[in-house]
């Protein structure tokens, strides 16, 4: 536990962190990678170049400082980050390294404003925060390894099938190389894959949502080609090749204890966790009323549409597709779609009972817009769940 003086000092630094947070985290990453380049095998360098990782870390530091006297308020966020850490292989021995260079970065950026008492308080506070992460992640590692069909860290899987789903998205059906049964996962979870790309100095780790329902003899990921790793998967890996993957992780999962209607809102490759939720809910809760809404550029970019339409054969499911740039074939064919964007009027026409559970996945702008529209329907904040691919840029939902 932290003493009152330390808590008071940490909370007093929140305005300074809000002003200089990204400068501090940028300096932190520069220092850490200069002194520990081996960590480049773990961290996503694309996020580093885009500076989204430093923004996410800055938000985490600010939230921790603001809630240092009530860390229980941010346990959901610690667990969310913990899932990511477990899936990529962050270990207890990494935390002293992070702490060392974070404190140096704070001192470097704040200069004389980082008085000795402030640095001492932050050293104590970091220890408490790190202990919370280590404790939670230890439980996650043990659960992943000791569950039925589970394993430790990474395990080789064979690409059993590779299917092109749209102009940008290809599905990979993955089976364990050792032929052993798969551990179960929850609809909405993801796996991390680790690849070694020729002529690249470091390994690359990326997360991809599991895009089929649990209970199969394979895991499926449906990957949009938009970066170094996804291009390597699309262009260089074929059926029969192997991938190293971690056990499923993530807390963006379908709540089967709820009896509310279900509304699934996705755009682009954001369909991947939601198609798993759709198919799983139809299987396990056939009586549950579901509205599935997906936005895409047009049918050429619309992956997994057939699977959504198959689910809609159940009387409890209503599907709706929104194309912002439909092709002539779309307009003259048999595809049912709404042209344009998802707006309030469109949602009201589709959702008969707004007292529902909402799950949203897509780009940051899509999530922000859908969250606003759904909130304006009068939905309770705790009924709105979303998954942002990439670093969690805002922690507001967990500390409000």
For the annotated binding site for heme b, the residues are: 85
Can you say which residues are annotated as belonging to the binding site for FAD?
Answer: 190, 206-209, 388-391
- Sequence-ordered list of residues with C-beta below 8 angstroms from that of 351, at least 6 positions apart, any chain: 261, 263, 291, 377
* Three-class secondary structure of residue 317 per DSSP: strand
Could you tell me if 144 and 150 are in contact, meaning their C-beta atoms sit under 8 angstroms apart? yes
The alpha carbon of residue 346 and the mean position of all alpha carbons in its chain are separated, in whole angstroms, by 27
Neighbour tally for 319: CB within 10 Å: 20
Whether 249 and 144 have beta carbons less than 8 Å apart is answered as yes
Burial grade of 24 (CB within 10 A; 0-12, 13-18, 19 or more): buried
Task: Read off φ and ψ for residue 221, nearest 5 degrees.
Answer: -120, 145
**Residue 137 designated active-site:** yes
* Binding residue numbers for NADP(+): 268-273
Q: Is the dihedral of CA 158, 145, 251, 65 positive or negative?
A: negative
Is 168 marked active-site?
no
Binding residue numbers: 85, 190, 206-209, 268-273, 388-391
Paired with 319 in beta bridges are: 292
Rounded CA-CA distance 383/124 in Å is 36
Which residue has 């292989």 as its token pair?
A: 89
Phi, psi (5° rounding) for residue 296? -150, 170
Which one of 101, 126, 137, 165 is the catalytic residue? 137
Token pair, residue 361, equals: 């996945």
| Distance, C-alpha 232 to centroid of its chain | 21
Evaluate whether 69 touches 11 at the Cβ level (below 8 Å): yes
Residue that is written with structure tokens 């649990």 in the block = 214
Q: Which positions are catalytic?
A: 95, 137
């Amino acid at each position: 536990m932290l003493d009152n003086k330390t808590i008071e000092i940490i909370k007093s630094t929140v305005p300074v962190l809000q002003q200089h947070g990204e400068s501090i985290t940028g300096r932190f990453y520069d220092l850490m990678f200069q002194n520990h380049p081996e960590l480049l095998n773990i961290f996503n360098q694309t996020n580093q170049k885009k500076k989204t990782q430093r923004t996410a870390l800055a938000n985490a530091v600010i939230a921790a400082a603001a809630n240092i006297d009530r860390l229980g308020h941010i346990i959901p966020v610690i667990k969310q980050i913990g899932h990511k850490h477990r899936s990529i292989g962050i270990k207890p021995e990494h935390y002293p390294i992070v702490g060392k260079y974070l404190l140096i970065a704070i001192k470097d950026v704040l200069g004389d404003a980082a008085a000795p008492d402030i640095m001492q308080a932050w050293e104590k506070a970091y220890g408490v925060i790190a202990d919370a992460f280590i404790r939670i992640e230890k439980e996650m590692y043990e659960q992943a390894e000791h569950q039925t069909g589970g394993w430790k860290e990474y395990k080789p899987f064979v690409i059993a099938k590779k299917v092109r789903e749209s102009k940008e998205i290809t599905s990979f059906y993955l089976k364990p190389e050792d032929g052993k049964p798969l551990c179960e996962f929850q609809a909405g979870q993801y796996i991390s894959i680790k690849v070694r790309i020729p002529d690249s100095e470091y390994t690359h780790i990326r997360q991809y949502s599991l895009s089929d329902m649990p209970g199969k003899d394979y895991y499926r990921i449906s990957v949009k080609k938009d970066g170094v790793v996804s291009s390597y998967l699309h262009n260089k890996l074929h059926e029969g090749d192997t991938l190293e993957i971690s056990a499923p992780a993530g807390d963006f999962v379908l709540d089967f204890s709820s009896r509310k209607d279900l509304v699934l809102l996705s755009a682009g490759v954001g369909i991947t966790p939601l198609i798993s939720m759709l198919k799983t809910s139809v299987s396990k809760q056939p009586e549950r009323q579901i509205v599935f809404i997906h936005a895409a550029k047009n049918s050429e970019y619309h992956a997994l549409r057939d699977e959504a339409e198959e689910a809609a054969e159940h009387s409890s499911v209503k599907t709706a597709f929104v194309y912002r740039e439909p092709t002539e074939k779309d307009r003259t064919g048999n595809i049912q779609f709404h042209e344009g964007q998802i707006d309030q009027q469109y949602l009201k026409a589709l959702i008969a009972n707004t007292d529902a559970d909402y799950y949203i996945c897509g780009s940051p702008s899509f999530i922000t817009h859908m969250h606003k529209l759904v909130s304006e329907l009068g939905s309770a904040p705790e009924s709105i769940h979303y998954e942002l691919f990439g670093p969690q840029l805002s922690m507001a939902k967990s500390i409000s």
